[in-house]
Amino acid sequence: MRLAPLTLVSILLAAAPGCRSELVAARALPRYTPEAALLLDDAFGSAVVDGDPVIIDDEIWAARVQSARAVVPALVATVSLDSMTGQAGQVSITFGVLGPPLAGSLDSGTIEVEVPSGSPSYHLVRTRRNAISGRRLLLFIGWFDEGGERTPHWHAEPDEPATREAVARVLSRE
């Protein structure tokens, strides 16, 4: 018996509920637009690594908090480098969530992100991973639909009273 291609796809999707739910979940997410990329830019604020004072622009912070699914205190738990035969490989960062979200909601106690070679943080993470490993920070995290895949995008700032107060100011205006 020969099945029509559409019927075969339906059977395969029904037999693999995890794949189907991931696909449906990704399509229910917002697209990663240039506007979202300015706010959740897959980057560490300069204060995280260089110790510069945190620059708090209320408009940018408000937009960043609103575009994130969650703002959580987190720890850079692991930084993994994947080098392939001397070439630049991918970098993975695992953030451990340290408490309840300051804004939004989150389902997991850990968040893993991939940092590809084109990412704004790639060079920094490869060259200064010891400076960021173990750092406490505020992680602004969101998930987006990129070609049918659920992809996290993030921004990180130091977890200190000034940054927490900036998030609280944004939330008090909502």
Could you tell me the residue ranges of all domains in the chain? 1-29, 31-173
Give SS3 for 64. Answer: helix
Give SS3 for 2. Answer: coil
Of the candidates 134, 127, 136, 117, the residue with the CA atom closest to the CA atom of residue 47? 136
CB atoms within 10 A of CB 10: 12
Taking the CA of residue 137 as centre, how many other CA atoms within 13 Å lie in the half-sphere pointing to its CB? 28
Over residues 26-85, the pLDDT tens digits come to 568 999 999 999 999 999 998 887 778 888 888 999 999 999 999 999 999 999 887 654
Of the candidates 135, 119, 148, the residue with the CA atom closest to the CA atom of residue 25? 148
Percent of the chain residues topping a pLDDT of 90 = 54
CATH class of 31-173: mainly beta
